Structure 1
Amino acid sequence: MTTYAALLRGINVGGNKKVPMAELRALLEELGHGAVRTYLQSGQAVFSHADGDEDSLAAGITAAIEKRFGFPVAVIVRSHDYLRAVAEACPFPAADLKPKQLHVTYFSAPVDAARFAGIDRAAFLPEEFRLGDRALYLYAPDGLGRSKLGEQLARRPRADKGPIATSRNWNTVRKLVEMTAPAA
């Protein structure tokens, strides 16, 4: 059995796309996933599954959510090994920062650095970003809500072009690594 995290994009924000976590857990169990748990109300679920690739698991969850709730929700599924590797590869001093200052945007597929080539990085300092393996790390000293760089990054490209993207703060990044870790 492999433990995965499902990252749902844009649910339960401002009263839109409401997906109650109890119903999400039930839905995942109906799909045959085991040890289902959720974290917060913003779209993280952890589950185990015997076999299957991340893209197939995400597609199954996406289709089931649309059928059950009547609206599409983009889903990215990642294994514990991937989530741990992303956390360990953080190019910023995570231990020295407040969790609200550091975010990871997970992508459904690799992202070409050319996508962000037009951003004048110096214009946004001290905010910074770095690309990783299907991930983007954002350091925003005043938090994401006040981040001008975060706004700029979110505009590239429009949601209907390129891979799915969904962001999580550093607390959630760490918690998902913890929740997907194999039992000792």
Structure 2
Amino acid sequence: MTARYAVLLRGINVGGAKKVPMAQLRTVLTDLGYDDVVTYLQSGNAVLNAAQDAGGEEAIAARIEAGIEKAFGFRVETLVRDGAHLRAVADACPFPAAELQGKQLHVTFLSGEPDAERLAAVDAAALLPEEFRTGDRVLYLYTPDGLGRSKLAQVLARPSLLTGLVATTRNWNTVVKLVEMTRER
């Protein structure tokens, strides 16, 4: 029995660093034994089938990280989420996603739960109209002018805020597409 998973690579194909062509990524994932591998965009999104006894999301991520390092010569932090988790993330969005443009709403996927005290220390009022909310291993970001101009994104990118966690962000359009792509076939 297999399950459908989304693979989220952190920090590839940005400014010429850590180049991972999607065709080669598909080959690496297929060579690792995953089936029905599909990539989306050039920013490190893939969807694949893995055996349900593959050890879970963390084990799959570790295996993919090792495969990428072997193929490309550098390490890429990787998060893996099953389709059910992605659907739950989309369903739990605290912002009116249907009313917003995709560039205004983002989800930061995390390797674990963020430290509530550190997040509470963020001066949210100083960042308005931008806002963030927490979810199950995610942060939902509302950035009306987009992530590139976001003061909130700069604050959340501070290493001390998410210490010990792998974090990678996707815009809402990508989240919706990954939900669609991970639906069981």
Same fold (TM over 0.5): yes
TM-score by length of 2: 0.96
1:157 CA drift (Å) = 2.3
RMSD: 1.1
Aligned equivalents of 2:36 and 2:30: distance in 1? Answer: 8
Aligned equivalents of 1:173 and 1:92: distance in 2? Answer: 14
Aligned equivalents of 1:136 and 1:158: distance in 2? Answer: 12
Q: For 1:62-83, what per-residue CA distance to the aligned partner results, in whole angstroms no more than 9, with x for missing partners?
A: 0111111011100000000000
The answer as to whether partners of 2:119 and 2:161 remain within 8 angstroms in 1 is: no
Match of 1:179 in 2: 181
The answer as to whether partners of 1:116 and 1:156 remain within 8 angstroms in 2 is: no
**Identical counterparts, % of pairs:** 62
Match of 2:148 in 1: 145
Match of 1:7 in 2: 8
Aligned equivalents of 1:141 and 1:154: distance in 2? Answer: 18
Within 5 A, what are the aligned runs for 1:1-150? 1-51=2-52, 52=54, 53-150=56-153
**Gaps (5+ residues) in structure 1?**
none
Between the two proteins, the alignment pairs up a number of residues equal to: 182
The answer as to whether partners of 2:118 and 2:161 remain within 8 angstroms in 1 is: no
Runs ≥4 residues deviating over 3 A? none
Q: For 1:122-181, what per-residue CA distance to the aligned partner results, in whole angstroms no more than 9, with x for missing partners?
A: 00101000000000000000000010011101114277x311000000000000000000
Residue identity matched to 2:93: C
Q: For 1:1-43, what per-residue CA distance to the aligned partner results, in whole angstroms no more than 9, with x for missing partners?
A: 1000100000000110000000000000001000000000000
- Provide the secondary structure at the position in 2 that maps to 1:46: strand
Aligned equivalents of 2:159 and 2:96: distance in 1? Answer: 26
Residue identity matched to 1:56: A
The answer as to whether partners of 2:39 and 2:45 remain within 8 angstroms in 1 is: yes
Decide which moves more: 10-19 or 109-118.
109-118
